[in-house]
Amino acid sequence: MLVVSSSAAHADGGPAVGNDPGCRGAAPDVTVCASDPVRAPGKSDSQSAAAKGGGKGSAAPKCIYTKMVPQPPAENLAMQDGKKRGGKGAAYQVMCPGTGRIGVVWIPDGNAPGAPAIDPEVVARQAVDSMKLVGPDIDINPKPGGKGLVGMPVWMAVGQSPNTYGPNSATATAGGVTVTATAKVKSIVWNMGDGTSVTCNGPGTGYRKSFGMKQSPDCGHVYKQTSDSAGGKFKVSATATWAVDWQVAGGGGETGHLTEVRNSQVGLTITESQAVN
């Protein structure tokens, strides 16, 4: 659905544009309301744009396009985009309540009724879905299945494949909008199962026998109790936060940022050291 308004000025909270109470215009701005026909595929670890709108089968995200008066300065990316394209047009502010995106885009004259009905963030989420990001590839010492000791250092690390740590890039296209997204893990929070957590801003260092009893230089923990109180094993989880940057192709350079979360778990047995007579 598209609704275009350029009628007399209204005060804040004035009459809705068309029959949509969520779209209000204020002259001399021109407001365009566009229902997005694309819903982002659902994800178990992150809330998609469709989920925010009420889940499967709900109304598609809606974007509101408002012609900016006055127009942005020449160095604005949208204005630079218009210069590259040539011809006449104007910069519009875009607001997508369904995804929380706010930005500025260039729209050629005569195209306002056909303002981009596809929210680039929705396309970016499709690109992220195609990356098939999964939880961290846990590399912990002592190894799951083995036994660690109270008071001894635990080393935590993760593998660095494109799907488990990044960087990972993908491109998606919908409704004539092409978006390239690049994702990489920003941080990993380790919940150690004993009530403590450790935040690591890197992949950590994998343990080698030559390290002996040293503690990890960047991502480690020391248990002060056995895992008996936790049913025999501490449930250790590693939760990775992915930072995703996306950009619309074809000039203008409209950009955005997303956050994705993935999780993995292992069980760790910690016992008391046994005295030798």
What is the model's pLDDT at position 189?
98
Q: In this structure, are residues 101 and 62 in contact, taking their beta carbons and an 8 Å threshold? A: no
Distance CA 84, CA 103 (A): 19
Residue 234 has pLDDT above 80, yes or no: yes
pLDDT digits (tens, 9 = 90+) for 25-64: 333 343 444 433 333 333 333 333 333 333 333 344 577 8
Residue with the two structure tokens 């990993």:
188
pLDDT digits (tens, 9 = 90+) for 137-174: 999 999 988 899 999 999 999 999 999 999 999 999 98
Q: Where are the beta strands (DSSP E) in 54-176?
A: 62-67, 89-96, 101-108, 138-141, 147-149, 153-158, 168-174
Query: For residues 160, 161, 163 and 167, what is the CA-based torsion angle, rounded to 10 degrees?
Result: 70
Q: Where are the beta strands (DSSP E) in 147-233?
A: 147-149, 153-158, 168-174, 177-191, 197-200, 220-222
Q: In this structure, are residues 121 and 137 in contact, taking their beta carbons and an 8 Å threshold? A: no
Closest C-alpha among 183, 176, 170, 270 to residue 228: 270
What is the model's pLDDT at position 14?
35
Non-local CB neighbours of 209 within 8 Å, separated by 6+ positions? none
Non-local CB neighbours of 166 within 8 Å, separated by 6+ positions? 133, 160, 183, 184, 185, 242
Please give the angle made by the CA atoms of 237, 160 and 185, to the nearest 5 degrees. Answer: 65
Residue 272 has pLDDT above 50, yes or no: yes
Provide DSSP, 20-58: EEEEE--TTS-EEEEE----PPP-SSS--HHHHTTSTTS
What is the model's pLDDT at position 81?
81
Distance CA 187, CA 201 (A): 4
pLDDT higher for 107 or 17? 107
Distance CA 191, CA 145 (A): 18
What is the model's pLDDT at position 237?
97
Q: In this structure, are residues 124 and 258 in contact, taking their beta carbons and an 8 Å threshold? A: yes
pLDDT higher for 171 or 8? 171
Lowest mean pLDDT among 66-75, 87-96, 132-141, 218-227: 87-96
Quote the longest CA-to-CA distance of the chain: 94
Closest C-alpha among 142, 138, 139, 136 to residue 223: 142
